[in-house]
Structure 1
Amino acid sequence: MEGQWGQRFLVVYAGVLTTAVVAALLSGFVVKPKKMQIDELDVQRINLVEPDGTLRMVISDKANFPGAIFKGKEYPHPRGAAGMLFYNDEGTENGGLIFSGHKDKDGKIVDSGGSLTFDKYEQDQLVQLVGAHDSSGHLAGLIVSDRADRPIEQDFIDADKLKAMPEAQRDALMQQRQKEGYYGATRISVTRSDDGIAKVSLRDAQGHPRIVMGVAADGASSLKFLDADGKVLNELTPAARK
């Protein structure tokens, strides 16, 4: 009997000891880790999250760059760039910094440059600082836009349906949406493009330039007033000095 009780005691003791060891080990994983200091780190993507897991920022290479994310739900949205995306308190994209640059096999520049944007709530960018160079030319400037009040997520939900439309029907729909300002419009642009003119353009709610102030590379300057069709109604130029 004493031998049996001794064995039982050892079994119970071993169980208690094992439980205590496991508890001690597990407690080590819930303690906040100490601050890490490293000299160099190679990584393809970093996700910055809140304690509850809400995504707030992504820094990524091109291969792992995320699609469009709305309140944690991701939709396909290829951008062909590396960079950094910002997310609001709800885990919805609200701006970012992207950059890229490469040539094709024939040595022709396909794209180069970067873009810093800040978005309207659940919509596209309100402000964009851009410097871009591609096969069609180059553009550098600041662009301020109006955006619709509807959530842009619906556009990603409907993307496959829009893609499946006959081309003529899709083109007609896009033209109608453009006319109605469905996607918003550029209201202010301060740019320098391939024409060599440093230009300030103030536009109406449909994105039509109505006042354009410009200075050409040779110093010629002007102030133009236009109608909605782009016709110059009046133009002011510096008076010649006598």
Structure 2
Amino acid sequence: MKPFVQKALLLYSATLSTVFAVAMIMGAKSQRNAEFNVIRAQRLNIVEPDGTLRMVISNHDQMPGVILKGKEFPKVDRPEAGMLFYNDEGTENGGLIFGGHRNEQGEIVDSGASLSFDPYGESQQLIQLAGVEDKDNRIVGLAVNEPKNHSRNRRIWVGRGDDDSAIVSLMDANGKKRIVMQVAADGTPSLDFLDAKGQVVRHFISNN
């Protein structure tokens, strides 16, 4: 084959490949709506047109560290999978996480789910709905917290106690219990008023 023919064929091949690639890219960009039966992925990032991160749906291995204003800090221990939410600045402000597995001893660990929402610009939970029950924790209920000086104090707790009682606790601004209303596992209701030191100053109980 003559040299000029070889060059022509190479040029034709290169041109055809380039046109095909451009067509595929343009077609992908113009395809704004698509329908799938199943999407298999380890992580999905939902972003704004400018690239700002707004949501992450991830398995355990791909869960990100804490992200503040688009900057990711060293990965924290997150044994669960789930969904994380981010505000307009790309700062984490809540999420839904879930997990659970057995360790080498056959004990259930990191089992449960949590839905939480944070105040703007801080990784402190304002509200948390949790259902956790494993070898170390037994937390089932709704917590309302008050962020204060880069920490949080619990103000309201509605949930189940370790003794299977149903509890409503109201705390002061320092996180100290001041009113505790509960119904014991045997059905006995009670109401306690506490001072700032946590001492019961009034106790009411009904045996009926």
TM-score interval for Structure 1 and Structure 2 normalised by the shorter chain:
0.7 to 0.9
Aligned match of 1:191: 159
Q: Give the aligned residue type for 2:151.
A: Y
From the two aligned structures, give the one with the greater strand fraction: 2
Q: Distance in 2 between matches of 1:138 and 1:191?
A: 11
Q: Distance in 1 between matches of 2:134 and 2:28?
A: 50
1:175-230 deviation digits (Å, cap 9, x = unpaired):
xxxxxx65120000001032111000000111110000000110001010011222
Q: Distance in 2 between matches of 1:198 and 1:222?
A: 11
Which one of 195, 202, 209 corresponds to residue 177 of structure 2?
209
3-state DSSP of counterpart to 1:122: coil
1:66-101 deviation digits (Å, cap 9, x = unpaired):
100011100122211100000001111000000110
Aligned match of 2:138: 138
- Describe the shift of the 1:127–1:183 C-alpha distance in structure 2 as closer, same or farther (beyond 3 A): same
3-state DSSP of counterpart to 2:126: strand
Q: What aligned pairs does 1:110-129 form with structure 2 within 5 A after superposition? A: 110-123=109-122, 124-129=124-129
3-state DSSP of counterpart to 2:83: strand
Aligned match of 1:223: 191
- TM-score normalised to structure 2 length: 0.84
8 Å CA contact retained: 2:80, 2:110: no
The percentage of aligned residue pairs carrying the same residue is 51
Deviation at 1:31, TM superposition (A): 4.3
1:39 to 2:7 alignment: no
Q: What aligned pairs does 1:71-220 form with structure 2 within 5 A after superposition? A: 71-76=69-74, 77-123=76-122, 124-148=124-148, 182-220=150-188
Q: Distance in 1 between matches of 2:131 and 2:159?
A: 10
From the two aligned structures, give the one with the greater helix fraction: 1
1:107-157 deviation digits (Å, cap 9, x = unpaired):
111221000001001121100000001223411100000003xxxxxxxxx
8 Å CA contact retained: 2:79, 2:110: no
8 Å CA contact retained: 1:129, 1:142: yes
- TM-score normalised to structure 1 length: 0.73
Deviation at 1:235, TM superposition (A): 0.8
- Describe the shift of the 1:53–1:216 C-alpha distance in structure 2 as closer, same or farther (beyond 3 A): same
- Describe the shift of the 1:25–1:102 C-alpha distance in structure 2 as closer, same or farther (beyond 3 A): closer
Unaligned 5+ segments in structure 1 are 1-13, 149-180
Q: Give the aligned residue type for 1:71.
A: K
Q: Give the aligned residue type for 1:140.
A: V
Q: CA RMSD in A?
A: 2.5
Which one of 53, 60, 63 corresponds to residue 61 of structure 2?
63
Deviation at 1:37, TM superposition (A): 1.2
Q: Distance in 2 between matches of 1:137 and 1:147?
A: 23
1:11-53 deviation digits (Å, cap 9, x = unpaired):
xxx9xxx7xx86x937826843142211112110000000000
Q: Distance in 1 between matches of 2:150 and 2:54?
A: 28
Q: Give the aligned residue type for 1:25.
A: V
3-state DSSP of counterpart to 1:147: strand
3-state DSSP of counterpart to 2:22: helix
